[in-house]
Structure 1
Amino acid sequence: MEGREAAEAIAQAFVDARKAGSALIDYPGAMPESLDEAYGIQGRAIGLFGQQVAGWKVGRIADALVDTYGINRITGPIFADAVVVENGAAPDMPVFAKGFAAAEAEYLLRIGHLPESFEGEWTNEAVAGYVDEVRIGIEVASSPFPGINDHGPAVTVSDFGNNNGLVIGATLDPNKDFIGWPVALTIDGEVAGTGTAGTMLDGPFGAVRFLFELARDRQLPLAPGQWISTGAVTGVHPVRPGAEVEASFGGDLRVRCRIGDDRHD
């Protein structure tokens, strides 16, 4: 198979595995070498998956690979049935136990409205006017393919950017300067990582700018109300079913989840 048929087959394999909750020990085809190929697979998979896109996760490309790919971020869809608002109790968030699974502390920005056109140059200041809410959260990164992050960003992009869920926590004042806040993520009470948003390239609003540019250049289907999970502040932390995850922001704001073991095993 070549071209579109190969991309369709890879997309179908990932969609089938995700719907069945089963692992893909090997990548289901020839691994994409370019982001063009990868986003082509992702776009086909979004159509095949048939669920509402409620947001987009943004991830960072390793510094050593930025020159190769010509960009420093990637994205993937977050589907509506995988978005949970934490209301005091830690929600169960399923993962692919025999695939890849990780938790990430992230700032979440919601798109309030969109410009009439994405054409032209975008700045962080310009996109900030289209964000109507800022929250803390946890991205659950999981894929049926255990090696999803081991073969470069194109492979990661091809399976929904390695997203499998989003936990939405407390609201922040969007005018508050949270960039320097200390952020920590714990797994079963042990600190897995710490950091600040100031170390994340050009910050959370830079992730929104990146998506506006993708909407301009790749027709990424952004929509009002979608959440942007803007990138892992403390790192990508492997988890297993049963793990208790907590992310703290600024010392006193917390969001939690439990890694589920009853759906993807």
Structure 2
Amino acid sequence: MSMKEAPYFRTEMTPIRSVHLSPTQIPANITEAYRGLHRIIDCDPAYGAAWKLGGTTAATQRIFKVNKLYFGPLHEREVAVLPSAAPAFQTYELKGEAEIALRIASTAADFLRADRKNTDEAPLSMLFDAWCAALELPSSPIENLADIGVTALIADRCAAGFLALGRAHPVDDFTNWAGSVLRVKQDGQTIATGGSSALLSPPDICARSFIIEALAQGFSPRPGQWISTGGATPCVNFTAGADISVCYNDHEELRFVAGIGTA
């Protein structure tokens, strides 16, 4: 009698060797996938310095056959504010998409409880104290990720790679991103354009929905952690050594050299 294979979970910071998963190698369901992430976080509390969201765009919901968001924790080494180069280590892929990220406020502590039911009604400035334009650089070694499904993606920490955060801007109760335009440039040429309208919900609603879902799955988001709300632009490949910048409404928010950790 053959033994069942252990489900795949990403235990390395940044795998650089490809894997091809079979259905017997993935968690049985989303709940089991999140339980695996709990074990990873329990072993190293530096995971969860930021959270990356998926399923917040029509494209990701279609590809992974879901109707709500999913998420993965980022390690503190996978996050940097205004880095001069990114990622800081070698990754399997070198690509990225511009996103809106929000930082959980200290005043949100009372809402970060599983028994709190009205997180969606809390004033924006009580939940979040800052936002920024960010460049999320996903990287997954799973060759057949789109085919194998969302449980494998969650077990892979949602293709965690690196998150480059731009200049922080304060949040107030009137902050909104409607009509915003985000541009990703490589060596001065625009290679991707989008905005908050690419998301199925405004960035703050995505972030609120993450908090509710994370609490439901037993996670503990904390003040000071960033939530990157999903691809506001298409995800595009970068050339190692290229100059990458992100503009928000034509204001440069972030600039770095791509692929410093790649060979």
TM-score bracket, shorter-length normalisation: 0.7 to 0.9
Contact 1:127–1:208, Cα closer than 8 Å, also in 2: no
Structure 1 position 40 matched with structure 2 position 35 = yes
TM-score (norm 1): 0.80
Residue segments in structure 1 that go unaligned for 5+ positions in a row:
none
Which of 76, 82, 89 is matched with 1:80 structurally? 76
3-state DSSP of counterpart to 1:64: helix
Letter in 2 for 1:76: G
**Residues 222 and 173 of structure 1: is their aligned pair in 2 closer, same or farther, counting only changes over 3 Å?**
closer
Q: Which residue of 2 aligns with 1:112?
A: 105
Residues 1-22 of structure 1: CA distance to partner in whole angstroms, max 9, x if unpaired? 55xx824xx22xx324x36x53
Contact 2:30–2:151, Cα closer than 8 Å, also in 1: yes
Residues 78-115 of structure 1: CA distance to partner in whole angstroms, max 9, x if unpaired? 111122111xx732314655x34421111111111322
Shift of 1:163: 1.6
Q: Distance in 1 between matches of 2:149 and 2:239?
A: 23
Contact 1:96–1:144, Cα closer than 8 Å, also in 2: no
Q: Which residue of 2 aligns with 1:196?
A: 195
Q: Which residue of 2 aligns with 1:145?
A: 142
- Measured on the aligned residues, the alpha-carbon RMSD in Å equals 2.8
Shift of 1:54: 0.8
Residue pairs, 1:121-140, within 5 angstroms: 121-122=117-118, 124-126=120-122, 128=124, 129-140=126-137
Residues 27-50 of structure 1: CA distance to partner in whole angstroms, max 9, x if unpaired? 386234532232223223334456
Residue pairs, 1:1-265, within 5 angstroms: 1-2=3-4, 6-7=6-7, 10-11=8-9, 14-16=10-12, 18=13, 21-27=15-21, 30-32=25-27, 34-48=29-43, 51-60=46-55, 62-64=60-62, 69=66, 71-86=67-82, 90-94=84-88, 97=91, 99-113=92-106, 114-115=109-110, 117-122=113-118, 124-126=120-122, 128=124, 129-175=126-172, 176-262=175-261
Q: Distance in 1 between matches of 2:146 and 2:254?
A: 25
Q: Distance in 1 between matches of 2:201 and 2:72?
A: 19
Q: Distance in 2 between matches of 1:261 and 1:145?
A: 22
TM-score (norm 2): 0.81
Give the total of aligned pairs.
251
Shift of 1:227: 0.7
Q: Distance in 2 between matches of 1:119 and 1:111?
A: 18
